[in-house]
Structure 1
């Protein structure tokens, strides 16, 4: 159970870090190109949320294989664990996006 909870924390923070890092460097690129950095960061964050979760999970194929085994072979424990990993990564990406919205100050929380 300890490894499971540790992996959920890893997934959360990896997705959060991918979002924050990508949007921060996207904002730098927007500044260099003469575009509004905050708007670019929010647009980019909205577009890459799902990809941050995929990165946190280590790619989609191992996750899909475990889901397939869970559904077709009746191993529901692995299926539930994988779903919780996915939710953890999605929540991490969403928290990063909401943090950027809050820091931008548009009031879209």
Structure 2
């Protein structure tokens, strides 16, 4: 495993936001959702493409808080511009389990 120092970690803008909208991403190569995430007053609402269809329905995603990388360059995926990366872990049975907090926190809070 490659190591980094604290300055490298501090370059990554990790924040929590709440999913407010989720749609099936029909043009994605792999099953995915289009997500709209409320990242608080400073960043507003950002979009992301997320391959989380194995473990989540659209309805389950609404209101869920997720940890996001907010300072990657936007990425065009088919006809959708993904502005943030919603983070998660690969489950034993495949698919992604979303990274979240154990308790609700205000949208836009940074991960320390």
TM-score by length of 2: 0.24
The structure richer in strand per residue is 2
Pick 1 or 2: higher relative contact order, CA cutoff 8 A, min separation 6.
1
